[in-house]
Structure 1
Amino acid sequence: MNFVSSRPSRQINWQTIIMFALGFWLSGSLVLDCLIIPGLLSAGMMNEPGFAGASYTIFGSFNHVEALCAALVLTGCLVFRYGDRSTMHINNKSIFLATVLLAIALVYTYNLTPHMSAMGLSLNQFESIGATSGSMTTMHVSYWILEATKLICGATLLRSFYRNSCSLG
């Protein structure tokens, strides 16, 4: 049985997927960092007993979306680097930046967010939540350093793919 499709097969436009994933991811990070976190801090939510669980739900969900976006970006870079694409040349710098982005997303998902949520968890409901500990402050500093690195690497990749898309057309 031979089946012949009358529909022509189209190749996946990885450049569009990469730019969409990076744009979605970076804009989501900026909304989280510039709107949601300051809003929670100014509302005094960090002193509430259920804050650790709620923040784990919010940040854990977003971290899984980040890991998915980072995997898409790295996959697209590898397709351009090692696939038979003659229209665009990807250098090793782009693959390195995409790998750094995936590593940051994995550190957030499996290390930083669970540990920060566990440190903020109140196991005694009658005890008030005290001041931020030194190890929590260290984790916050590492979060912001990783966040700045993520935004710089992501913006660099987005800029290079956007420039390549403009020069191709």
Structure 2
Amino acid sequence: MIHTLIPMESSSRTSKPINWSTVIMFALGFWLSASLVFDLLVVPGMLTSGMMSESGFASAAYIIFGTFNHLELLCAATVLAGCLVYRYGYRLTSEINYKSILTAAILLVISIAYTYILTPQMSSMGMSLDMFANTSSTSASMTAMHIVYWSLEVIKLVAATTLLRGFYRSSCSLA
């Protein structure tokens, strides 16, 4: 059997390069809006409804927060990868500087800290191994973990907003 190579007709479609500025802004916008919904609606809703005093809250919270933390990791990795590609792939120096890459790296470190340190530690502190014990008070170590969480959350929101604002201004000046 003889195979012949038949030249393919050239397609009228041409592939466009990925607009990394748009990808970064989308990831940051999604991440910021999801974090604000989580911080301003979900967490206070669980607190006011009394869910945090329920016996199964720690395991349910681990699933909820763990899933959200993995979504944050995905967004942070996308933002950092986008910043690196945008900076080094396009050889731009004025629009994306090292501060943007450092800010994106800080956001990734915060997401890693949430996923692999804070959420597992806070969940393990909240789980009662004695089903007859009544643990309604918050321990000092749990209070310290909440302070660390909310401090990192403020840093994350400020850093992500700053990065989003920079990319938005950069994209508006290019258009």
Residue 130 of structure 1, CA deviation: 2.9
Residue 162 of structure 1, CA deviation: 0.4
2:133 is equivalent to residue 156 of structure 1: no
Letter in 2 for 1:152: V
2:126 is equivalent to residue 120 of structure 1: yes
The one-character-per-residue Cα deviations of 1:28-48 (angstroms, maximum 9, x if unpaired) are 000111001111111111110
Under a length normalisation based on structure 1, what TM-score does the superposition of the two structures give?
0.95
Under a length normalisation based on structure 2, what TM-score does the superposition of the two structures give?
0.92
Letter in 2 for 1:105: S
Letter in 1 for 2:76: A
Whether the 8 Å contact between 1:21 and 1:72 is mirrored in structure 2 is: yes
Q: Distance in 2 between matches of 1:128 and 1:50?
A: 13
Q: Distance in 2 between matches of 1:14 and 1:74?
A: 11
Residue 89 of structure 1, CA deviation: 2.6
Matching residue of 1:98: 104
Q: State the superposition RMSD in angstroms.
A: 1.5
Equivalent position to 1:49, from 30, 52, 55: 55
Moved over 3 A (4+): 1-5, 85-88
Residue 85 of structure 1, CA deviation: 4.7
Residue 101 of structure 1, CA deviation: 0.2
Partner SS for 2:84:
helix
Matching residue of 2:65: 59
Q: Which runs of 5+ in 1 are unaligned?
A: none
Matching residue of 2:22: 16
Q: Which runs of 5+ in 2 are unaligned?
A: none
Whether the 8 Å contact between 1:87 and 1:168 is mirrored in structure 2 is: no
Residue 84 of structure 1, CA deviation: 2.5
Identity %: 61
Report 1:66-85 matches (<5 A).
66-85=72-91
Whether the 8 Å contact between 1:119 and 1:136 is mirrored in structure 2 is: yes
Letter in 2 for 1:55: A
Letter in 1 for 2:144: T
How many pairs align? 169
Residue 88 of structure 1, CA deviation: 6.5
